[in-house]
A = this chain, B = another copy of it.
Amino acid sequence: MKKLRPRRSDKEEQNQQEQKETKEISGFRDYPLTVDKILTWASYAFPNNEIVYWPPGGSRASVTFSQFADRVRRVAAALMDLGLRSGKPWEFGSKIAVMEWDTLRYVDLFYAIPSIGSTLFTVNIRLAPHEVMYTMSIAKPDALVINIDDFEPFIKPILDNIKTIKLVIYMSDRSKGPSQDYGIKTVPYEELLKHEPLKEFPEIDERTPATMLFTSGTTGPPKGVYFTHRQLALHASSVTIALSYPPYNIGVKDVSMPLIPLFHVHGWGTPYVVMLSGTRKYVLPGRYDWGHILRLIHDEGVTYTGGVPTILYVLLTHPDSSKYDLRGLRFGNGGSAMPEGLYNAAKARGIIVASGYGMTETAPVLTMAYLRPEYLNWSEDEKKQLVLRTGLPIPLVQLRVVDEQDNDVPMDGKTIGELVVWSPWIAKEYLDDPEKTRNAWRNGWFHTGDVAVWFPDGYIFIVDRLKDVIKSGGEWISSVKLESIISTHPAVGEVAVIGVPHEKWGERPVAIVVPKPGERITEDEIRNYLMQFVGRGEIPKWWLPDKIIIVEAELPKTSTGKIDKKLLRDRFKDEFT
């Protein structure tokens, strides 16, 4: 039977057809830089590379990049089904708070949550409970994903205080469920992994917020920042390139187990970097247990790790340490300057150490102490002086060291100024804090609050946090430099130098020294030791600490494992009164 159609409809159809054709004249599809692109590519390019999850006391699990991509697609699809939604350029959609150790599940979430346009809020589980609550009150998450084995006691107080949360997803290594009814929708993480995998990741603008996190708040309450897909992708790409430079030389053959918690500034970008680097194996140790970690380094053949100096110290001094051969292991240092004494101790074990630098607000990496080709033939001692510096900017980063008027200070390795930076991955703003934002972003440069010198060769060295630098008689004394020197004394275990209020000078330096286990040390020994460096012109005489206090207990640490100088300053504030 022949269909009859009115002419008018024919005309309409023709119009529609023409419109469609016009629209399709260029079928060009723009390519947004979103983190799912890294995964889609890496699971094709390196499908057999491995991610190993082996928590202390638990069993070893391993997935290939290809299997991992499947997990992410399942979790992403499930999260969409649970009603979690995409944001827009510079605007949040759903925000998902995660409280977890370094697990495979966490790495899933580094891809799955942003891939659907939602924001991964990496809760700093090392903060004090009231601080965790404070960050949550600013972040206002829509959902909570939580390790129920270790953090269940947090659930009730969080739900009582943070009313935006409508969903709890719980994770367990022991198939554990919640021990009570929280009066809210709860879903086991394993359920998400059973969902049909997403075929195509949804199209997300590259400026959609992908992650949210908080500074560790050593100068006041933690401050929130967020990062877009574009920022994370470009950060990962530059870190990958810089890690290929000597002395890191990280490539496809490496086995990577950075000891930067994933809740601490994206674990320095590791979940994304291992994919771009083609890293043969990425090892996740769960909750940090040093005996277990040392065993993993050996059993999994780890070739690259990293963290704050304290972690290197622990790896070297742990009772089990001497059982293992650590030769050839590379350690990327960050968070604090690497004390020369610790460098030497690591070197004696055959570990290759190189520094890096960054901050929460910068995603984090800004500099790495890589070696220029012309330095490769230098002596070990000359190279040491370079890799102990804070480094050179990684690709695309611009930096300057400036005075209070934002003018460059001389590149003489001596004149101290504030480090200001510009790169594609610096936080746009502090959450709910326009004043702090305005104060950091001045004249088009982000002001780090770190005090540095730059050398004639362009390498920089962070001499202090602006808040830790000691102001004596209108001049600055670098606590970091003094600490590094004292750390080279063979009997010194830990050291902190702080500024203590002083009637005449404003502030004067005080050193707090912890001897190595079984060692004894006196104030005079340290003073005489420092005098040798004064004699060689390495530090001026007036930098010498007025007091050197020997203590037996370990120094207090912040949630990120750095020495808590705020607390020390408070404890010793009356030394000169």
- Are A38's CB and B396's CB within 8 A? yes
Neighbouring B residues of A27 by C-beta, 8 Å: 437-438, 440-444
Q: Which of B29, B244, B392, B426 contacts A244 (CB 8 A)?
A: B244
Residue A33, interface by CB 8 Å: yes
A29 neighbours in B (Cβ, 8 Å)? 422, 441, 444-445
Are A46 and B372 in touch, CB under 8 angstroms? yes
Per-residue B-contact encoding for A22-61, CB less than 8 Å = 1, 0 else: 0011111101010001101100111111000000000000
Q: How far is B392's CA from A46's CA once the two chains are assembled, in angstroms?
A: 9
Neighbouring B residues of A46 by C-beta, 8 Å: 372-373
Which of A123-131, A246-254, A562-570 is the interface stretch? A246-254
Residues in B neighbouring A237, C-beta threshold 8 A: 237-238, 241, 395
Residue A458 at the chain B interface, CB threshold 8 Å: yes
- Chain B residues near A277: list those with CB within 8 A: 241
* Complex partner residue of A26 from B31, B244, B429, CB under 8 angstroms: B429
Contacts of A280 in B (CB 8 A): 373-374
Q: Does A79 contact B (CB under 8 A)?
A: no
Please give me the residue from chain B that is nearest to A28 by CB atom.
Answer: B428
Q: How far is the CA of A392 from the CA of B49 in the complex (A)?
A: 15
Q: Is A212 an interface residue (CB 8 A)?
A: no
Closest to A47 in B: B458
In whole angstroms, how far apart are the Cα atoms of A458 and B45 in the complex? 7
In the complex, whether A87 has a CB less than 8 A from a CB of chain B is no
CB neighbours of A28 from chain B (8 A): 426, 428-429, 437, 441
A250 (CB) vs chain B CBs: closest residue? B244
Cross-chain contact B24 with A438 (CB below 8 angstroms):
yes
Q: Does A155 contact B (CB under 8 A)?
A: no
Do residues B276 and A395 form an inter-chain contact, with CB atoms below 8 A? yes
> Given A29-B444, A244-B244, A423-B31, A373–B41 Cβ distance below 8 Å?
no
Give chain B residues whose Cβ lies under 8 Å from the Cβ of A45: 372, 392-393, 395, 458
State A397–B393 Cα separation when bound (angstroms): 27
Q: Contacts A28-B428, A241-B276, A444-B27 hold; do A398 and B438 have CB atoms under 8 A apart?
A: no
Min Cβ gap A56→B in Å is 27
Q: Which B residue sits closest to A397, measured CB to CB?
A: B41
CA distance A44 to B423 in the complex (A): 14
Query: In the assembled complex, which residues on chain B have CB atoms less than 8 Å from the CB atom of A423?
Result: 31
| Stoichiometry, copies per complex | 2
> A245 near B: Cβ within 8 Å?
yes
Q: Are A40 and B429 in contact (CB under 8 A)?
A: no
**Cβ of A537 under 8 Å from chain B:** no
Chain B residues lying within 8 Å of A395, measured Cβ to Cβ, are 38, 41, 45, 237, 276
Chain B proximity mask over A354-380: 1 for CB below 8 Å, otherwise 0:
000000000000000001111010000
Q: A373 touches which one: B25, B253, B397 (CB < 8 A)? A: B253
State which of B40, B47, B429, B434 has its C-beta within 8 Å of the C-beta of A398.
B40
Across the two chains, which residue of chain B brings its CB closest to A33? Answer: B424
Q: How far is the CA of A241 from the CA of B457 in the complex (A)?
A: 26
A278 at the interface (CB under 8 A from B): yes
A240 within 8 A of B: yes
| Complex CA distance for A442 and B240, rounded to whole angstroms | 33
Chain B residues in 8 Å Cβ range of A442: 27
In whole angstroms, how far apart are the Cα atoms of A46 and B374 in the complex? 9
* Distance (whole angstroms) from the CB of A229 to the closest CB of chain B: 13
A265-304 contact mask (Cβ, 8 Å, vs B): 1 or 0: 0000000000011101000000000000000000000000
**Bound Cα distance from A393 to B38, whole angstroms:** 12
Q: What's the Cα separation between A13 and B371 when bound, in Å?
A: 53
Q: Name A44's contact: one of B244, B422, B458 (CB within 8 Å).
A: B458
Selected from B33, B40, B438, the residue in CB contact (under 8 A) with A25 is B438
Residue of B nearest to A46 (CB): B372
7 cross-chain pairs, A with B, having the tightest CB-CB distances, nearest first: A27-B441, A280-B373, A31-B424, A29-B444, A244-B244, A252-B373, A28-B428
Q: A27-B438, A241-B244 are in contact. List 8 more A-B contacts (CB 8 A).
A: A27-B442, A31-B422, A33-B234, A46-B372, A47-B457, A246-B251, A252-B371, A278-B372
User: Can you give 8 contacting A-B residue pairs, CB < 8 Å?
Assistant: A25-B434, A27-B440, A33-B424, A37-B396, A41-B398, A237-B241, A246-B251, A253-B373
